[in-house]
A = this chain, B = another copy of it.
Amino acid sequence: MIKSPARNTIADVARHAGVSKATVSRFLNHRETLLSPEIAIRVETAIAQLGYTPSPMAQSLKRGRSRLIGLVVADITNPYSVAVLRGAEQACREAGYLLMLFNLGNEGERETAGIHALSSYRVEGFILNTMGHDAGALLETARQGKPMVLVDRLHKGLDVDFVSLDNHQAIYLSAQHLFDAGYHELLLVTEPLGEVSSRVERARAFDAFVAGHPPVSGRCTESREQDRDALADALRACRDRARARSAMPAIIANNAVVTLRVVAAVDRLGWELGKDIGLVGIDDTEWAPYVGPGISTVSQPTNELGRKAAQCLMQRVAGSTVAARQILLPGTLMARGSSRPATA
């Protein structure tokens, strides 16, 4: 490998091999087109000697394809986002695509800026896990026919591929499990519903479950990070309602962040999980087995979600024009101490 002050170009290779640039380019892109073996060899060795790599920038300019995928994440701090990101990155890389990352840091207003920034780099498609505060840029992008796939959060009026946990199944799984364990006073704790489709869907599924199981009584409360007292109050109220009808109370936490808040609140109240109150959290985490008696969770196939999302996108990028799909993957129950059979 020859020392390269600047990067060498296709022209360098051509000169080195004593052929034209076109020939080198053909060697690279149309291997099927027969080049005379002798020339092929010359080009090949020249490439090897110079350690030549085509400039994706120039290629992109010429072909109009960048081999880049834009990934916009609501919050890179959220383990869920990361897990999905991981799956997506794998699938993209395997397909020869690189990922450009834009993190919203939970500032929904930056959504448009992010999409435009990535867009300007001519990414060939988007994987979006956003807040949905500003569908404007999304619509614009969709209208331009640029492929995109939504993860976890659906935006109304956007007819595109969508990959997500089967929220209905996940909630039913949790609720049924708690029900079977003897918890009949349920409380769903969620982050503010707002426009976030996954949260709304889970709340709806929860209501449906409660409606379909008469012995069960259930409510839903929104929890904000700042307001710890409100959550504690909601927990106390739930337990009081349970006592009044001599039932056992239990919480379903809508995601890992909320689960941790519930754990903290229960801790401050001096209660014991799986004894004073039941708990199932959506999103399995590595620490769940070791908090208190172990926290029961519904595990999302995050890696698979990311992969599926990327695969959908790759198909579209490759030109597929099938109708928008909705891919719903089921969650798995991880039963632990926090939902052990209630002893009234």
Number of copies: 2
For chain A, give the interface size range: 35 or more
Please state if A122 and B55 are interface contacts (CB–CB under 8 Å). Answer: yes
For A121, the chain B residues whose CB sits under 8 A away are 56-57, 98
Q: Which of B79, B82, B120, B292 contacts A56 (CB 8 A)?
A: B120
Q: Output the least CB separation between A156 and chain B (Å).
A: 22
A161 to B73, CA, bound (A): 29
Please state if A86 and B99 are interface contacts (CB–CB under 8 Å). Answer: no
**Residues A53-77 near B (CB distance < 8 A):** 53-58, 60-61, 66, 76-77
Q: Which of B57, B101, B119 contacts A89 (CB 8 A)?
A: B101
Stretch at the interface among A245-253, A260-268, A307-315: A260-268
A126 to B43, CA, bound (A): 31
Q: Which of A4, A76, A121 lies at the interface centre, i.e. has the most chain B CB atoms within 10 A of its CB?
A: A121
Q: Is A192 an interface residue (CB 8 A)?
A: no
Stretch at the interface among A33-41, A167-175, A210-218, A283-291: A283-291
Q: Which of A86, A263, A290 lies at the interface centre, i.e. has the most chain B CB atoms within 10 A of its CB?
A: A290
For A18, the chain B residues whose CB sits under 8 A away are none
Which residue of B has the minimal Cβ distance to A89? B103
Which residue of B has the minimal Cβ distance to A122? B57
Q: Is A117 an interface residue (CB 8 A)?
A: yes
Q: Output the least CB separation between A10 and chain B (Å).
A: 13
For A285, the chain B residues whose CB sits under 8 A away are 287
For A189, the chain B residues whose CB sits under 8 A away are none
Q: Is A321 an interface residue (CB 8 A)?
A: no
Please state if B66 and A77 are interface contacts (CB–CB under 8 Å). Answer: no
Q: Is A116 an interface residue (CB 8 A)?
A: yes
Please state if B66 and A76 are interface contacts (CB–CB under 8 Å). Answer: no
What 0/1 pattern do residues 87 to 103 of A give for CB contact below 8 A with B?
00110010000111111
A93 to B104, CA, bound (A): 11
Which residue of B has the minimal Cβ distance to A78? B82
Q: Is A305 an interface residue (CB 8 A)?
A: no
Q: Which of B77, B103, B117, B290 contacts A263 (CB 8 A)?
A: B290
Residues of A within 8 A of B (CB): 4-5, 7, 53-58, 60-61, 66, 76-77, 79, 82-83, 85-86, 89-90, 93, 98-103, 105, 116-122, 144, 260, 263-264, 267, 285-287, 289-292
9 further contact pairs, Cβ within 8 A, besides A56-B121, A98-B121, A285-B287:
A53-B119, A57-B60, A57-B121, A76-B82, A79-B79, A86-B103, A100-B100, A264-B289, A267-B290
Nearest 8 interchain pairs by C-beta: A287-B287, A101-B101, A53-B120, A290-B291, A263-B290, A57-B60, A89-B103, A99-B101
